[in-house]
Amino acid sequence: MSGGVDSSVSALLLKKEGLDIVGIHLHSFDFCNYQDAEDARRVAQILNIPFYVFDITEEFEDKVINYMVRTYEKGLTPNPDVCCNQFIKFGIFFQKALELGFTEIASGHYAQKSNSHLLKAEDENKDQTYFLWSVTKEKFSKIIFPVGKFLKDEVKQIAKEHNLPIFEKKESMGICFVGTVKLREFLKKYLQPKEGKIIDTEGRILGTHPGYFYFTEGQRHGLNIKIGGGPYYVAQKIPEENLIIVAKDGHPLLYTKKIETTEINILEPEILEKEEIIEARFRHRQSLVKAKVNLKERTVEFLEPQKMVAPGQSIVFYFKDYVLGGAVILKRIE
């Protein structure tokens, strides 16, 4: 129970089904909002269910923070929410819950299930399967997504009708554990500023930057370019030279036709082997695009060139409502 409306309503729905449930709040990082734990506790009191807070700061530092910093240092842009689901929520915590005798773990994620098959949520605008692709398939038999069949507005209405105090609570945006701290300020704790050059595709120096690791390929805002002629986008980062190359909208360097992937996790191998063309998403809430997946070569080829594909982020594969699996984008090939 995060203290938000989705996990709160999930607990409510399971309680109404007559299930024996316990609310668990995960304290994972010093930047965590103390109010979230209190909100979760208040909901648990209203529902009359036991409530506990698990301190997982040590595990979180090891599995998520260190991974995130290492990835940024390589010049890639990690997705810590994917990492957290894989190693913390449905990794360390999942295993601990089973050891304590619980039979299933419920989550407020917007996703659905059919047996052990992971399916898209009913609310496509809120679908969170993009962040769940790295969870191994056998675990889904013990995971419940109570709000996955509802629209977000319906979930809020359920909370309001049952007088849950969080029904108007705003959603947390961005990286879940950074809170109100800006990402760059957070990274400065681990990666010290290191001034470098910003150049355009013709090699002209346009400005300076405080470190390649603070930027994402495809990023537009936050660039220290004051000579006009923009807007410019980060087209490429060269870590060994601490160099950022920028390009104007429409430049071929901003588009990608083929990528190489790593850390592949396939949930539906039969479908992926049978279907030559599937759909893919390389950003959360991005429209699905047609693609071909070559598991042997670990590549994904888009039928149409795609703009702003960021190495380090996740690419997730779909066929109809099925989540076929996903991978981490290693680099752009074409």
Is 83 marked active-site? no
Helix pair 5-16, 34-47: axis angle to 10 deg:
20
**Cβ–Cβ under 8 Å, residues 222 and 216:** no
Return the axis-axis angle of helices 5-16 and 152-161, rounded to nearest 10°.
60
Q: Can you say whether the dihedral through the CA atoms of 107, 113, 118, 123 is positive or negative?
A: negative
What is the CA 290 to chain-centroid distance, rounded?
21
How far is residue 123's CA from residue 110's CA, in Å, rounded to a whole number? 8
Q: Which of 56, 68, 132, 176 is catalytic?
A: 176
Distance from CA of residue 31 to its chain's centroid? 18
32 catalytically annotated: no
Instruction: Please confirm whether the linkage preceding 231 is cis (ω < 30° from 0).
Output: yes
Q: Judge residue 317's burial from the number of C-beta atoms within 10 Å of its C-beta, 0-12 exposed, 13-18 middle, 19 or more buried.
A: buried
Q: Choose, from 5, 13, 65, 84, the residue flagged as catalytic.
A: 84
Q: What are phi and psi of 248, to 5 degrees?
A: -80, 160
With residue 16 as reference, give the H or E element that holds it: helix 5-16
Return the residue matching tokens 């992926």: 272
Do residues 40 and 8 make contact, with C-beta atoms less than 8 angstroms apart? Answer: yes
Closest of 327, 304, 305 to residue 317, by C-alpha:
327
How far apart CA 95 and CA 109 sit, in angstroms, is: 19
Catalytic machinery residues: 84, 176
